[in-house]
A = this chain, B = another copy of it.
């Protein structure tokens, strides 16, 4: 009624269940077509189409035409972070889409969050990097140490080249299943990409789950030991 930005528009966009489900699906990070998103939202293609155009004009989605497909992604990392933090709040207030319980253990273990690793394994990875002195943590802030830079080089990640991108190198992202932070930012993305390149992990189609191969799991756990 007074001054300031209009929260209500964004809230209303996220407030519709169909749209919320589509946004949640896009938190998986990969670009999805209108048809796929319609399925994710549990609605017909026509309805999805109007929802998607609303989300786009609202600035939450970006689209890119490719042949006869139209691929949608979250507009921004800022949007992804908003969605995740709303998930965190929703989880802490007990708003669940289904009955709570021992749901989906695979998803709690390792999943995609936008473009990086989340879940138990994501949290463990960050904890281990901090414990080994590769990453400095102050509050919510994260920074790679010189030592970390050389350690990551050994794994096959060139931190120097990541720094040049405009996107922040490290970010902490609050995990809704673990209620603890995991590693986002371009480094988080690079690490996950690295694991998938090596064949340690792969995404499960149509899901946010990430599964590790037996060998990959062994390597991952060795590389990121738990602080005792």
Contacts and interface: CB of A to CB of B under 8 A. Distances in A.
Interface of A: 1-17, 19-21, 23-24, 40-42, 58-59, 78-79, 81-83, 85-98, 103-104, 107, 136-143, 168, 170-172, 176
B7 A24 contact: yes
B141 A5 contact: no
Given A3-B98, A11-B15, A138-B142, 19 more contacts: A1-B97, A3-B97, A3-B104, A4-B87, A5-B88, A6-B90, A7-B14, A7-B83, A7-B87, A8-B21, A10-B14, A11-B12, A11-B20, A12-B16, A78-B88, A78-B92, A137-B138, A139-B142, A140-B171
Given A4-B24, A16-B12, A86 B97 contact: no
Query: How many copies of the chain does the oligomer comprise?
Result: 2
27 contacts: A1-B21, A2-B21, A2-B97, A3-B98, A3-B103, A4-B24, A4-B176, A5-B91, A5-B96, A6-B90, A7-B23, A7-B86, A8-B14, A8-B21, A9-B90, A10-B89, A10-B95, A11-B11, A11-B14, A11-B16, A11-B86, A58-B95, A59-B95, A82-B86, A137-B138, A139-B170, A141-B172
